[in-house]
């Protein structure tokens, strides 16, 4: 794009210094280009003028009507003062109400004059009213030539709306367009645009803000989505090509004694077909001469840790060290215990290193990896500290990778002259189309079957009315020697919500499950690490029958004897988080249960989420549904919004067809011109650059 579009937004008519600061703070809009990239999220038909009698519960959220002012009245004092303006047309009457800006409105309202009123209708005691509508005289309305009959409604914030209403923001977009329209450069070569039937970028931006027809709006959206997804694909495929051009991966030519002994004598249960397939894929990667970059997806409890261990043993057999990085102290210790137990009696030395390691443990781990006597190091992000020096690191496993920042991960690959092979594991299922296309630089492996002996978890949804029934069921399970998780979304009640919080819940459960017959432990993110460890230890050892926790226990805690997972205020969690929490039970051979507790009143989306949980245990089906329900969001489920890339209009789940086309287009463009060096590809280079710095969670940064 033309550098002119980098001009400061404050120079646009109607903005100025103060509003420019507000736009940047509230919406991140700093330049003309940013403003044009702030697309409407819906449109209102400004050609339709309603009669008052036509407006009822079925009317759109925003309407406009033509009415004459018949009177005004004031009520309340001081800050509670409000102005009511009464209007009517030949079919009925309505009330317009203002709580703020009363002085400004008073000057603009004349009894007996006709106005165009635009706002959100509501009914109070069967009377139609509008709170803080926009108004203008009919003379003004008729003299104003709209760019389009469909007016864009732009996302805003409470603070910004109080300074700039919907109309104010729209006016700034109009003024920005007047300045920038002649300066919009076209990034795509003509041949590419013709091939895919795309509007010019200028026409697309015009029709996204001022649609000249529904069809032109559709074409504008298509073109802008195409640009975003093409930018991402050019990035991913350039990086993949660069990695494969290096041909500098470690070779693991032999399957030796350690791997074979483990496979023949130590396997806790026979490998599933899926586990065998994934180990074979990893094995093939390590004999090609290229550095492996593989994403391993497997539902909770599918046996990813075993696959990771066997892959690390391949490295050990070939004279290399391996390390495994987990996001939390609890999970790192658990992996260390599990792997130590599996390798008992074998000539493989395993060490652990976390932020909480004592001096002796730390010294032993650091010395052992430096002199090569430790084969496998397991730890938290303490592994990336400068003093951690490997003698020959050849294989890195990263568990639940979305919990690490890009810089943290990148520092692991610098622990060796040559980049080690990388296996990234996640229990957050990512639909295959999405994984292959967004993470095109990674090879994707999937473990899609559970180990033998695992029973599907039964999931039910109860409302608060069934609490006594729930407590009765918990007592039954505890009487059978089982244990129960109770998970809350909050630690303390915040004034804004009426959700049950953990402290209240802990007290209620302690009352209903009293000592000494029952022991209840508690675990949440604000506790000191040592207290959290002690609570987890009590629960894991069976001293406590109930663990009351926040979602800190979501990832990785393994207590095979826990068979009941109660999730309070389940409507507050995303689907992937609910599924992760459910995966904490069902780890032994006993039938396990997940009980979703919620209030009586549920939104349509919340109800759909809870129903889906009761219907299926398949994480991939849930991931597909989750993405449809809440848009792409953060596909790793740690946040509820914000993609791995800064996508303003494209949604990789819903726009899979465009995604696939851009993948093909990027492959063809880079095949013909790998560096995009041709003069006609200057715009594509800029597009690729724009989407290269956004990928905060992009797995393909791993190389």
- Note the residue count of the chain: 703
Lowest mean pLDDT among 397-401, 492-496, 616-620, 695-699: 695-699
Q: What is the pLDDT of residue 314?
A: 96
Report angle CA 6, 10, 14 to the nearest 5 degrees. 130
Which residues neighbour 367 within 8 Å (Cβ) at sequence distance 6 or greater?
373
Which of 193-197, 293-297, 606-610 has maximum average pLDDT?
193-197
Strand partners, 150: 45
- The beta-strand segments (E) located in 99-192 are 114-119, 121-124, 127-131, 134-137, 150-153
pLDDT, tens digit, 9 for 90 and up, residues 314-352: 999 999 999 999 988 888 988 999 999 999 999 999 999
Compute the distance between CA of residue 639 and CA of residue 696 in angstroms, rounded to an integer. Answer: 13
- What the block records as the tokens of 578 is 């609910």
- What the block records as the tokens of 438 is 């967004």
Q: Indicate the pLDDT class of residue 632, thresholds 50, 70 and 90.
A: very low
Q: How many CB atoms lie within 10 A of CB 572?
A: 17
Cis, peptide link before residue 579, omega less than 30° from 0: no
Compute the distance between CA of residue 205 and CA of residue 211 in angstroms, rounded to an integer. Answer: 9
Q: Indicate the pLDDT class of residue 701, thresholds 50, 70 and 90.
A: very low
Which 3-state string (H, E, C) describes 363-397?
Answer: HHHHHHHHHCCCCEEEECHHHHCCCCCCCCEEEEE
| Residue 135, CA distances (Å) to 74, 142, 235, 477 in order | 19, 13, 48, 64
Higher pLDDT, 548 or 249: 548
Q: How far out from the chain centre does Cα 123 lie?
A: 37
- What the block records as the tokens of 33 is 């280009």
pLDDT, tens digit, 9 for 90 and up, residues 418-429: 889 999 888 777
pLDDT, tens digit, 9 for 90 and up, residues 128-137: 999 989 898 9
| Residue 413, CA distances (Å) to 253, 423, 703 in order | 21, 12, 8
DSSP characters for 61-90? SSEEEEEEEEEEEEES-GGG-EEEEEEEET
Q: Indicate the pLDDT class of residue 255, thresholds 50, 70 and 90.
A: very high
> Beta strand pairing status for 483-487 and 562-567?
parallel
Higher pLDDT, 126 or 564: 564
Compute the distance between CA of residue 9 and CA of residue 553 in angstroms, rounded to an integer. Answer: 46
| Residue 81, CA distances (Å) to 68, 69, 573 in order | 24, 20, 40
Return the closest-CA partner of residue 357 out of 374, 332, 335, 337: 332
Which residues neighbour 609 within 8 Å (Cβ) at sequence distance 6 or greater?
571, 574, 575, 578, 625, 626, 629
> What's the distance, Cα to Cα, between the start and end of the chain in Å?
30
Q: Indicate the pLDDT class of residue 411, thresholds 50, 70 and 90.
A: low
pLDDT, tens digit, 9 for 90 and up, residues 342-354: 999 999 999 999 9
Compute the distance between CA of residue 508 and CA of residue 37 in angstroms, rounded to an integer. Answer: 51
pLDDT, tens digit, 9 for 90 and up, residues 513-561: 999 999 999 988 778 878 888 888 899 899 999 999 987 665 556 788 9
pLDDT at residue 94 tops 90: yes
Which residues neighbour 656 within 8 Å (Cβ) at sequence distance 6 or greater?
433, 434, 437
- What the block records as the tokens of 498 is 């009426």
Laid out side by side, the sheet with 593-598 consists of: 458-463, 593-598, 562-567, 483-487, 546-549, 520-523
Greatest distance between any 2 Cα atoms in the chain: 96
Report angle CA 170, 176, 180 to the nearest 5 degrees. 145
């Amino acid at each position: 794009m033309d550098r002119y579009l980098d001009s400061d937004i404050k120079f646009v008519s109607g903005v100025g210094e103060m509003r420019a600061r507000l736009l940047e703070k509230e919406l991140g809009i700093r330049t003309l280009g940013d403003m044009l990239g702030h697309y409407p999220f819906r449109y209102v038909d400004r050609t339709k003028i309603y009669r008052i009698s036509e407006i009822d519960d079925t009317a759109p959220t925003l309407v406009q009507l033509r009415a004459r002012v018949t009177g005004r009245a004031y009520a309340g004092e001081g800050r509670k003062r409000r102005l009511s303006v009464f209007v009517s047309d030949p079919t009925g009457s309505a009330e317009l109400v203002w709580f703020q800006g009363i002085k400004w409105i008073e000057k603009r309202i004349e009894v007996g004059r006709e106005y165009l009123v635009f706002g959100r209708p509501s009914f109070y005691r069967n009377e139609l009213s509008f709170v803080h509508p926009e108004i203008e005289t009919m003379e003004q309305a008729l003299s104003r030539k709209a760019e389009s009959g469909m007016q864009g409604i732009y996302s805003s914030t409470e603070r910004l709306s109080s300074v700039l209403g919907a109309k104010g923001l729209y006016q700034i977009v109009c003024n920005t367009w007047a300045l920038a329209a002649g300066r919009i450069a076209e990034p795509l070569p003509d041949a590419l645009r013709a091939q895919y039937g795309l509007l010019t970028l200028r026409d697309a931006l015009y029709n996204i803000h001022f649609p000249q027809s529904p069809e032109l709006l559709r074409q504008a959206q298509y073109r802008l989505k195409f640009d975003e997804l093409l930018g991402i694909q050019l990035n991913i495929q350039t990086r993949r090509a660069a990695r494969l051009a290096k041909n500098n991966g470690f070779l693991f030519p032999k399957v030796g004694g350690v791997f074979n002994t483990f496979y023949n004598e130590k396997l806790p249960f026979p490998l599933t077909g899926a586990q065998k397939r994934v180990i074979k894929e990893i094995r093939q990667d390590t004999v090609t001469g290229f550095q492996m970059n593989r994403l391993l997806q497997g539902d909770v409890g599918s046996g990813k840790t075993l696959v990771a261990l066997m892959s690390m043993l391949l490295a050990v057999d070939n004279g290399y060290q391996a390390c495994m990085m987990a996001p939390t102290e609890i999970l790192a210790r658990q992996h260390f215990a599990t792997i130590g137990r599996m390798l008992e009696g074998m000539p493989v030395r395993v060490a652990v290193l976390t932020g909480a390691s004592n001096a002796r443990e730390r010294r032993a781990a650091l010395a052992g990896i430096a002199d090569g006597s430790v084969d496998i190091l397991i730890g938290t992000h303490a592994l990336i500290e400068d003093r951690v020096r490997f003698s020959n690191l050849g294989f890195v496993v990263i568990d639940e990778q979305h919990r690490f920042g890009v810089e943290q991960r990148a520092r692991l690959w610098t622990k060796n002259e040559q980049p080690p092979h990388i296996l990234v594991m996640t229990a957050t299922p990512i639909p295959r189309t999405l994984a292959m296309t967004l993470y095109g630089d990674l090879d994707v492996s999937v473990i899609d079957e559970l180990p033998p002996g695992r029973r599907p978890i039964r999931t039910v949804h109860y409302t608060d009315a069934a609490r006594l029934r729930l407590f009765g069921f918990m007592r039954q399970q505890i009487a059978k020697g089982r244990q129960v998780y109770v998970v809350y979304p909050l630690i303390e009640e915040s004034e804004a919500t009426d959700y049950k919080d953990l402290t209240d819940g802990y007290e209620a459960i302690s009352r209903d499950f009293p000592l000494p017959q029952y022991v209840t432990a508690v675990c949440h993110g604000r506790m000191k690490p040592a207290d959290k460890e002690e609570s987890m230890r009590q629960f894991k050892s069976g001293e406590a029958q109930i663990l009351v926790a926040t979602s800190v226990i979501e990832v990785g805690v393994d207590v095979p004897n826990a068979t009941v997972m109660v999730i309070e205020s389940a409507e507050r969690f995303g689907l992937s988080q609910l599924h992760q929490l459910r995966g904490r039970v069902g780890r032994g051979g006993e039938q396990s249960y997940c009980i979703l507790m919620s209030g009586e009143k549920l939104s349509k989306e919340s109800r759909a989420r809870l129903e889906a949980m009761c219907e299926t245990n398949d994480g991939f089906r849930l991931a597909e549904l989750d993405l449809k329900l809440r848009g792409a969001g953060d596909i790793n489920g740690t946040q509820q919004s914000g993609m791995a890339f800064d996508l303003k209009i494209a949604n990789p789940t819903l726009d899979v067809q465009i995604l696939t086309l851009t993948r093909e287009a990027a492959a063809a463009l880079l095949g013909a011109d790998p560096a995009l060096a041709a003069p006609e590809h200057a715009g594509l280079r800029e597009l690729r650059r724009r989407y290269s710095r956004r990928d905060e969670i992009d797995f393909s940064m791993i190389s």
